[in-house]
């Protein structure tokens, strides 16, 4: 392709799609040319300059042969320069490092794996790039997926957690089927960065599964950087007991969103707006005294509406006030008063798992899907809001 092809064709492109196609083809041609240039440099280093009879190298050029390389994740056919080297038996082929690197399908496999994780089925893979998938069957895509996903399970559940300076831990469960659940742990370090710490597949969100998840993380070196870590839960008594079994000193904060959702189930729809108002004020409260006052008002409100709702509020009410008792800045309320951070992970995970029509609990298939979904969700992690106040939080947790 001539050097001025792009600059001459782009102004003549009538539609944006045409311009994009010209641009992409130009990039591909430039990449092909770069690969050939690198290979030729290696050949010159081995054999000397072309048409130079004074070269004393034992290697010599031996023509070329058809070959394929990977350009931006796609297979490309190029002529492979051949180099041979004299030895005691005559001569032998010399492997070119630059060509071997260009043939490495790792980048291509990563692109395919990402496509599968993002919801592209094996049947639809050929619609991505027909030329690079020629000869690749759906079963081959499935085997590639299974191999990579198995590696992801190992990556997640064998992560070294010794260097994670844990400050806040969140636990939550995801229903896979009627008799299959995934329990997931999310950690927030002292700088406000999130990380998936591990997961377990169990029949339900039970105490033994929670203990197994906690033990797995502790065995891999999970140690809080504070004297009494903060653990945010959705209200599950099984997970609460599992945490306190291993960390009896932990502060337990109950998610306000889940508690509001629970109370809403007891009330008629005409009272839902008033209930939401109380919890909105509670999430913005500054200090334990202000939070207590709002909860007292909420208790009085519920007393005239539904006795079961009032009893539900009293149950575990102390865990609703844990963060307020720590006397940390109210800017941390949005991060610490709910399990929203791990709920967002679960939302992305459920979207990923929505493609599964039949779970095979007798295999590692559930673990593969959960691990791949969690790692995909982790790619979008950002620092939590209020991370600049984490030094104050750590001081409170060390008191």
Give pLDDT tens digits for 101-149.
777 766 555 655 666 655 555 555 555 554 444 555 666 666 766 777 7
CB atoms within 10 A of CB 399: 10
- Give pLDDT, residue 112: 58
Angle, CA of 232, 174 and 387, to the nearest 5°: 35
- Give pLDDT, residue 275: 93
- Give pLDDT, residue 131: 47
Sequence ranges of the domains in the chain? 5-104, 163-398
pLDDT-derived band at 16 (thresholds 50, 70, 90) equals very low
pLDDT-derived band at 21 (thresholds 50, 70, 90) equals low
pLDDT-derived band at 51 (thresholds 50, 70, 90) equals confident
- pLDDT above 70 covers a percentage of the chain that reads 82
pTM: 0.70
- Give pLDDT, residue 73: 61
Residues 67-108 have pLDDT tens digits of 888 766 667 788 889 999 988 888 889 988 888 877 776 655
Q: With 60 as the cut, is the pLDDT of residue 56 above it? A: yes
């Amino acid at each position: 392709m001539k050097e001025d092809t792009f600059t001459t064709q782009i102004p003549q492109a009538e539609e944006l799609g045409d311009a994009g196609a010209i641009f992409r083809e130009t990039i591909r041609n430039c990449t092909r040319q770069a690969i050939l240039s690198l290979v030729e440099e290696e050949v010159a280093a081995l054999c000397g300059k072309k048409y130079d009879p004074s070269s004393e190298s034992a290697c010599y050029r031996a023509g070329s042969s058809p070959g394929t390389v990977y350009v931006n994740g796609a297979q490309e056919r190029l002529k492979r320069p051949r180099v041979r080297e004299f030895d005691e038996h005559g001569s032998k082929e010399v492997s070119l490092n630059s060509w071997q690197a260009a043939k490495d399908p790792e980048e291509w496999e990563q692109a395919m794996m990402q496509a599968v994780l993002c919801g592209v089925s094996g049947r639809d893979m050929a619609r991505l790039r027909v030329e690079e998938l020629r000869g690749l069957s759906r079963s081959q895509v499935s085997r590639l997926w299974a191999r990579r996903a198995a590696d992801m399970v190992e990556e997640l559940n064998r992560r070294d957690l010794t260097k994670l300076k844990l400050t806040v831990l969140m636990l939550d469960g995801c229903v896979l089927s009627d008799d299959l659940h995934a329990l997931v742990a999310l950690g927030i370090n002292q700088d406000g960065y999130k990380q998936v710490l591990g997961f377990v597949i169990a029949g339900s969100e039970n105490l033994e599964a929670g203990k197994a998840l906690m033990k797995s993380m502790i065995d891999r070196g999970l140690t809080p950087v504070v004297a009494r870590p903060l653990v945010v839960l959705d209200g599950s008594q099984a997970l609460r007991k599992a945490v306190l079994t291993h960390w009896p000193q932990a502060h337990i904060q109950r998610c306000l969103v889940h508690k509001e959702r629970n109370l809403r189930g007891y009330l008629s729809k005409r009272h839902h707006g008033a209930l939401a108002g109380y919890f909105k004020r509670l999430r913005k409260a500054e200090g334990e005294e202000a939070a207590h006052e709002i909860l007292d008002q909420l208790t009085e409100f519920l007393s005239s509406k539904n006795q079961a709702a009032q009893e539900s509020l009293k149950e575990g009410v102390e865990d609703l006030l844990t963060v307020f008792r720590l006397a940390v800045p109210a800017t941390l309320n949005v991060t610490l008063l709910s399990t929203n951070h791990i709920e967002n992970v679960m939302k992305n995970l459920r979207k990923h798992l929505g493609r599964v029509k039949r779970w095979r609990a007798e295999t590692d298939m559930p673990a593969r899907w959960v691990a791949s979904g969690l790692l995909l969700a982790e790619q979008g992690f950002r620092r939590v809001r209020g991370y600049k106040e984490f030094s104050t939080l750590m001081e409170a947790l060390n008191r």
